[in-house]
Amino acid sequence: PKPFHFAIVDEVDSVLIDEGRNPLLISGE
């Protein structure tokens, strides 16, 4: 199983990647 802190970092990283892929959608909201 993954360490708890690693899971948190992975979650945050996924959000940052999504914002990078969809800058117009994020700023549009």
Residue 11, H or E segment: helix 4-21
Residues in contact with 10: Cβ distance below 8 Å, sequence separation at least 6, in sequence order: 2
pTM, two decimal places: 0.33
- Cα separation values, 14 from 5, 20, 26, Å: 14, 10, 14
What digits encode the pLDDT tens for the residues 1-26? 667 777 778 888 887 777 667 666 65
pLDDT value for 17: 75
The confidence score (pLDDT) of residue 10 equals: 81
